[in-house]
Amino acid sequence: MIVFLYATSSIKYIYPGNEALLYLLPGFLYGPILYIHFKTTLHQDRFKLTRKELLHLIPFLLVLLINLDFLLLSGPSLEAFMQNHFSNRVMPINYARAAHQLIYAGILGYLIVGNYTKIGREKVFYLIVISVIYALATLIISFYTLFAETWRDFILYYFIVNFLILFLGYVLTYMPEFYKRIGGKYKTSNLNSADLRGIENQMNLIFEEEQLFLKNNLTIADVSKRLNVPSYQISQVLSSNIKMTFNQYVNKKRVGHAKTILSLPQNNKYKIEALAIEMGFNNKVTFYKAFKMYTGLTPSQFRKEIQREQDS
């Protein structure tokens, strides 16, 4: 929208040549940013930003370096260059941008399909909506890249995309119950309340007896296989009965077990970092965050409270 307002107003004549910085280059960042957001949403505390994810910035850096000769220009010089070399320099970037966004639309869809049975329906619904908006925006912008003659031809594109984004933001912010109802429907499930309680009891039993929560990177698929129950039914139990996400449920079990260990005098020399890994967390930071969420204290503070009680 900022690009559209800039290109169709008098601001363009006051500060000419900024389409490249506002429109062409950022287009190579939308996909990678959404990819990282999807990975974070899917895996939450198990996701770590590594060098592998940074490889997604390569297209952006290549476009930047290849076109550095004119991107370093400013004002009227940049505007004149883009007009004089529109066909042989600007449009190729435009085509690459559209292709890049189409590829990432496919990648985002692949992430959803590959993790559909491992996450809750609400989360699936959220990611699908984001993917549809991104894919629709990409298809429309690709169409206009081929056929539009002026920036004003993009009015429909910016209207549709911004309407969808604002609508999604409004629903997530002011109508969370609507979002939960839509995303939380289990149309393929015929479970009644007794069935749900039965699965919940089985889950609690194996988590307590077998301590599944100690497994690093535990997934709904793992629990599904152990209980011989479809993943979507476990997701339904978590959403309808337990009122938690899978990660919240697992982390609460981990924290409860950690409290037991920290409460024993013989474990006073147990390092918090080692305990975090043993409980199934990937790192100390995640452990501290989860522990404080469910106890109101950090592990160190909890240990001190217990020691104070034992000494008194």
Which pLDDT belongs to residue 163?
72
Among the residue ranges 30-34, 158-162, 279-283, the one predicted with the least confidence is: 158-162
170 and 270 fall within a common domain: no
Q: What is the mean pLDDT of the chain?
A: 78
Confidence tier at 137 by pLDDT (50, 70, 90) = confident
Cβ–Cβ under 8 Å, residues 99 and 23: no
* Phi (first) and psi of residue 264, to 5 degrees: -85, 125
61 and 169 fall within a common domain: yes
Q: Which of 148, 183, 218 is the last residue of a domain?
A: 183
* Phi (first) and psi of residue 263, to 5 degrees: -80, -15
Domain residue limits at 260: 193-311
Assigned domain for 188 exists: no
Q: Tell me the percentage of the chain whose pLDDT exceeds 70.
A: 74
33 and 81 fall within a common domain: yes
Question: Residue 171: pLDDT above 80?
Answer: no
> Rounded to whole angstroms, what are the CA distances from 196 to 9, 169, 208, 304?
59, 32, 18, 40
Assigned domain for 42 exists: yes
175 and 221 fall within a common domain: no
Question: Hey, which of 44-53, 180-189, 302-311 has the most confident mean pLDDT?
Answer: 302-311
227 and 86 fall within a common domain: no
Q: Which of 183, 214, 249 is the last residue of a domain?
A: 183
What total number of domains does the chain contain?
2
88 and 223 fall within a common domain: no
197 and 178 fall within a common domain: no
13 and 137 fall within a common domain: yes
Which pLDDT belongs to residue 187?
45
Which pLDDT belongs to residue 4?
47
Q: Which of 183, 214, 238 is the last residue of a domain?
A: 183
Give the residue-averaged pLDDT of 90-118: 85
125 and 215 fall within a common domain: no
Nearest C-alpha neighbor of 299 from the set 280, 271, 278: 271
Cβ–Cβ under 8 Å, residues 63 and 96: yes
Which pLDDT belongs to residue 7?
47
Cβ–Cβ under 8 Å, residues 122 and 180: yes
Assigned domain for 294 exists: yes
63 and 39 fall within a common domain: yes
Give the residue-averaged pLDDT of 301-305: 87
Confidence tier at 52 by pLDDT (50, 70, 90) = confident
Q: Residue 211: give its domain's CATH number.
A: 1.10.10.60
Tokens 């106890």 -> residue: 295
Among the residue ranges 165-169, 178-182, 247-251, the one predicted with the least confidence is: 178-182
Give the residue-averaged pLDDT of 153-174: 65
169 and 211 fall within a common domain: no
Question: Residue 31: pLDDT above 50?
Answer: yes
114 and 203 fall within a common domain: no
Q: What does the buried/exposed string (b/e) look like for 286-309 if buried means 16 or more CB atoms within 10 Å of the residue's CB?
A: bbbebbeebbeeebeebbeebeee
